[in-house]
Amino acid sequence: EALGPQEYTGIKLEVREWSEAAKKLVEGKLGGRKVSMVAATLRPETMYGQTNCFVGTAIKYGVFVVNDQEAFLCTYRAARNMAFQGLLSGRGEIQQILEIDGTDLVGTKVSAPFSVNPEVYVLPMDNVLPTKGTGVVTSVPSDSPDDYQTLMDLRKKAEFYKIDPKWAAFEPVAVLSTPTYGEMTAPALVQKLKIQSQKDTKQLAEAKEISYKEGFYSGTMVIGEFKGLSVQDAKQKVRDSMIAKGAAFAYAE
Ligand code: A2H
């Protein structure tokens, strides 16, 4: 854990089609606003490889007013931080439109800005912390061991997790290359450390540490506007480009 404030990038995943359960809850309440699920990431340069979005099933989310046209979906805790950072309507005041359980969001179709997959689905993840970021995690299975392993778990036990297999069908996308692990760092580390499921949290933490360092210090972009640049050089450029296009914003905590 970092000691100082953490500089996240808030990625705006626009809701394109609510799940059946969510549809009933939001009906007539949004005042015509478009809703974005806000995912907090430390790896904006990997957004080309988004394959789905994760929420915690035991987490409560809210829909919060940004302005007459727009609302954000995240935890109340994140909305409070956003309000203090001037990212929501009003001066530090929070206008919550409704509350919704993570479970009810599963199956919602959202946009995935900059991804080769323009639209992806919301899926459940066990290890989403309610106390970090926005409680919404965008999934990049090529470069995040947690994302990769969870996606594999969901594919293996679609019925148990109550998901439609097509929601978990998007394949990992090559985003960056590293000398040690090639273009699929996360799958390579999951295999190397013999990780079996998302419950292997200790090994996953180790894999996360290794992949983060390897990607940052030795990675080269193999996709997108900054293809060929080192990850160190591309990271801020991709972030700036996403912010300039209105697909993301700076979010700290
Ligand atoms: B990262 P840190 Cl490709 N609960 O984004 C659990 N994990 C969360 C979270 C929450 N509430 N909020 C954010 N995260 C994830 C991309 C990524 C991330 C890649 C590789 C590694 C990686 C795609 N998922 O994270 O504890 C988000 O996933 C490993 C550092 O604040 C976010 O960045 O350091 C990261 O954890 C923030 O973790």
Reported ipTM: 0.98
Whether 43 lines ligand 1, by a CB cut-off of 6 Å, is yes
Question: Which of 1, 3, 9, 43 is the best mutation target for the ligand 1 pocket, counting ligand atoms within 8 Å of the beta carbon and taking the most?
Answer: 43
What's the pLDDT at 89? 85
Check if the beta carbon of residue 122 is closer than 8 Å to that of residue 52.
yes
Cα gap 36→113, rounded to integer Å? 11
More confident: 1 or 140: 140
Whether 6 lines ligand 1, by a CB cut-off of 6 Å, is yes
Report residue 2's pLDDT band, with 50, 70 and 90 as the boundaries. Answer: low
What's the pLDDT at 4? 78
Report residue 11's pLDDT band, with 50, 70 and 90 as the boundaries. Answer: very high
Domains of the chain: 7-252 (3.90.740.10)
Q: Please give the single-letter amino acid code of residue 111.
A: S
Whether 42 has a pLDDT exceeding 70, the answer reads yes
Say how many Å lie between the CA of residue 92 and the centre of ligand 1. 26
Whether 64 has a pLDDT exceeding 70, the answer reads yes
What's the pLDDT at 212? 94
Cα gap 111→11, rounded to integer Å? 10
What's the pLDDT at 203? 98
Say how many Å lie between the CA of residue 146 and the centre of ligand 1. 9
Whether 205 lines ligand 1, by a CB cut-off of 6 Å, is no
Count of alpha carbons within 13 angstroms of residue 13, beta-carbon side: 34
Say how many Å lie between the CA of residue 71 and the centre of ligand 1. 23
Check if the beta carbon of residue 234 is closer than 8 Å to that of residue 226.
yes
Cα gap 70→34, rounded to integer Å? 5
Question: Which of 115, 137, 139, 181 is the best mutation target for the ligand 1 pocket, counting ligand atoms within 8 Å of the beta carbon and taking the most?
Answer: 137
Report residue 36's pLDDT band, with 50, 70 and 90 as the boundaries. Answer: very high
Whether 104 lines ligand 1, by a CB cut-off of 6 Å, is no
Backbone angles phi, psi at 22, to 5 degrees: -70, -35
Tally of CB atoms within 10 A around 89: 16
Whether 132 lines ligand 1, by a CB cut-off of 6 Å, is yes
Say how many Å lie between the CA of residue 52 and the centre of ligand 1. 14
Atom from ligand 1 closest to the CA of residue 133? 12
Q: Which of 71, 111, 103, 75 is nearest to 87 (CA)?
A: 71
Whether 239 lines ligand 1, by a CB cut-off of 6 Å, is no
Mean pLDDT of the chain: 96
Q: Which of 1-10, 67-76, 113-122, 160-169 bottoms out in mean pLDDT, i.e. has the lowest?
A: 1-10
Question: Which of 11, 41, 209 is the best mutation target for the ligand 1 pocket, counting ligand atoms within 8 Å of the beta carbon and taking the most?
Answer: 41
